[in-house]
């Protein structure tokens, strides 16, 4: 398509990580919830890996007090690396934590006013280009990854894109929900968006699942700081105001999603990922069967 060559590439990603993680207390009293590991990688690492696979160059963390461990994680640990090298240990395991100099930026969300406000805190770094957003609680496992699938769709249709998935009707009130228009393959036109609707008022059971590619104009809408569901400044409300002014599509992710914002989802992700790892699958399967057997 001729148009796609004029499209600015998606080079920047915003990771809102200022939340207090109260659902995982006391584990998250002194460490950020994004640093809780699924096996041997902290949750934030999965999101960053997905971003880099999609061609994202600059990572923008919207952090808050007590969240410095996230930035530390992606810094070079000189003493650790020197000690490991001296002991002839491979440094390959640290590879995913390396960021090109200057490509990690942390801004603070000083007050927890909502997801929309968190994103708006990154406006000066995002500047005048399309950008991605990752909610690290939503662990998306696929090949290619969710954001890569979205970037491919973006190259086709441009504008704004969100990842969506179907949930049972009873769950829609916990999420942002789309009013779907025409669908073609994995792409669905978005006609409307509503944050945390009542079940009977939800326009569908297709929910926003934590990945976005947005145009910078959304920052101007967020600038108005209008409050929505739960008294918070909602990203969903700002996006809803963009519909009609710019193309807006949903991408149904071909892959698996784990809600690591909940304890059950976290356990599910840990088990599922362990069962997919060549170095663990067999032992974990045997262990799970043994535990289930004991339980019965
Ligand atoms: C946020 C978004 C919501 C989205 C959800 C995905 O809600 O506001 O639209 O569906 O993440 O996890 P939160 O979980 O922060 O309440």
Whole-number CA gyration radius for the chain: 20
For residue 19, the ligand 1 atom closest to its alpha carbon is 15
Answer yes or no: is the C-beta of 210 below 6 A from any ligand 1 atom.
yes
Confidence at residue 230, expressed as pLDDT on a 0 to 100 scale = 86
Please give the angle made by the CA atoms of 114, 116 and 120, to the nearest 5 degrees.
115
Whether 115 lines ligand 1, by a CB cut-off of 6 Å, is yes
User: Looking at the structure, do residues 38 and 169 belong to the same domain, yes or no?
Assistant: yes
Same-domain status, 253 and 271: no
133 lines ligand 1 (CB under 6 A): no
Please state the atom number of ligand 1 nearest to the C-alpha of residue 235: 8
Whether residues 167 and 225 share a domain: the answer is yes
CA of 159 relative to ligand 1 center, distance in Å: 21
Task: Give residue 210 CA to ligand 1 midpoint distance, Å.
Answer: 7
- Based on the domain organization, do 159 and 180 belong to the same domain? yes
Ligand 1 atom nearest 207 alpha carbon: 10
Three-class SS of residue 112? coil
Residues 132 and 273 in one domain: no
Q: What are residue 250's DSSP bridge partners?
A: 162, 188
pLDDT, one tens digit per residue, over 177-192 is 999 999 999 999 999 9
Q: With a cut of 70, which residues of the chain have pLDDT below it?
A: 1-6, 295-296
Q: How far is the CA of 175 from the centre of ligand 1 (A)?
A: 5
pLDDT the model gives residue 1: 45
Q: Are residues 192 and 171 in the same domain?
A: yes
Give DSSP secondary structure letters for 204-265.
-SEEEEEEEEE-TTHHHHHTT----GGGS--HHHHHHHHBTTB-EEEEE-SSEEEETTSHHH
CATH number at residue 58: 3.90.550.10
Q: How many angstroms separate the alpha carbon of residue 26 from the centre of ligand 1? A: 23
The pLDDT of residue 7: 83
**Residue 53 region by backbone torsions, left for phi larger than 0, else alpha for psi between -120 and 50, else beta:** alpha
**Domain housing 80:** 4-258
Q: Report how far apart, in Å, the C-alpha atoms of 288 and of each of 225, 278, 284 are.
A: 48, 16, 6
Is 237 close to ligand 1, i.e. is its CB under 6 Å away?
no
DSSP character string of 116-156: HHHHHTTHHHH-SS-EEEE-TTEEEE-SS-HHHHHHHHHHH
Specify the residue with its C-alpha closest to ligand 1, atom 11. Answer: 210
- Check whether residue 275 and residue 169 sit in a common domain: no
Residue 155 alpha carbon to ligand 1 centre in Å: 25
The total number of structural domains in the chain stands at 2
195 lines ligand 1 (CB under 6 A): yes
Q: Is 164 in the pocket of ligand 1 (CB under 6 A)?
A: no
User: Do residues 78 and 207 both lie within one domain?
Assistant: yes
Judge if 124 and 268 occupy the same domain: no
> In this structure, are 151 and 204 located in the same domain?
yes
Q: What is the pLDDT of residue 66?
A: 87
* Dihedral sign for Cα atoms in the order 272, 150, 62, 119: negative
Structure tokens at 96: 């995913």
One domain, residues 287 and 253: no
Give yes or no: residues 205 and 274 share one domain: no
């Amino acid at each position: 398509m001729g148009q796609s060559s004029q499209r600015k590439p998606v080079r920047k990603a915003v990771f809102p990580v200022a939340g207090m993680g109260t659902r995982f207390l006391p584990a998250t009293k002194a460490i950020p919830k994004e640093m809780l590991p699924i096996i041997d990688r902290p949750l934030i690492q999965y999101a960053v890996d997905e971003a880099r696979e999609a061609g994202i160059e600059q990572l923008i963390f919207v952090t808050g007090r007590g969240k410095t461990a996230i930035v530390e994680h992606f810094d070079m640990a000189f003493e650790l690396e020197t000690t490991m090298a001296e002991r002839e240990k491979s440094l390959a395991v640290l590879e995913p934590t390396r960021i090109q100099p200057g490509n990690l930026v942390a801004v603070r969300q000083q007050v927890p006013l909502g997801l929309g406000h968190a994103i708006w805190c990154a406006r000066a770094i995002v500047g005048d280009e399309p950008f991605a957003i990752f909610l690290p609680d939503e662990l998306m496992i696929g090949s290619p990854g969710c954001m890569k699938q979205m970037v491919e769709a973006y190259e086709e249709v441009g504008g704004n894109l969100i990842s969506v998935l179907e949930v049972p009707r009873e769950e829609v009130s916990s999420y942002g929900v789309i009013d779907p228009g025409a669908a073609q393959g994995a792409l669905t036109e978005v006609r409307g968006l509503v944050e945390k609707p009542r079940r009977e008022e939800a326009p569908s059971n297709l929910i926003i699942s934590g990945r976005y590619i947005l145009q910078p104009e959304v920052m101007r809408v967020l600038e108005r700081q209008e409050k929505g569901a739960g008294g918070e400044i909602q990203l969903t409300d700002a996006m809803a105001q963009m519909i009609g002014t710019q193309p807006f599509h949903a991408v149904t992710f071909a892959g698996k999603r784990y809600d690591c914002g909940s304890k059950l989802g976290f356990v599910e992700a840990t088990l599922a990922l362990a069962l997919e790892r060549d170095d663990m699958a067999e032992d974990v399967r045997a262990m799970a069967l043994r535990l289930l057997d004991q339980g019965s």
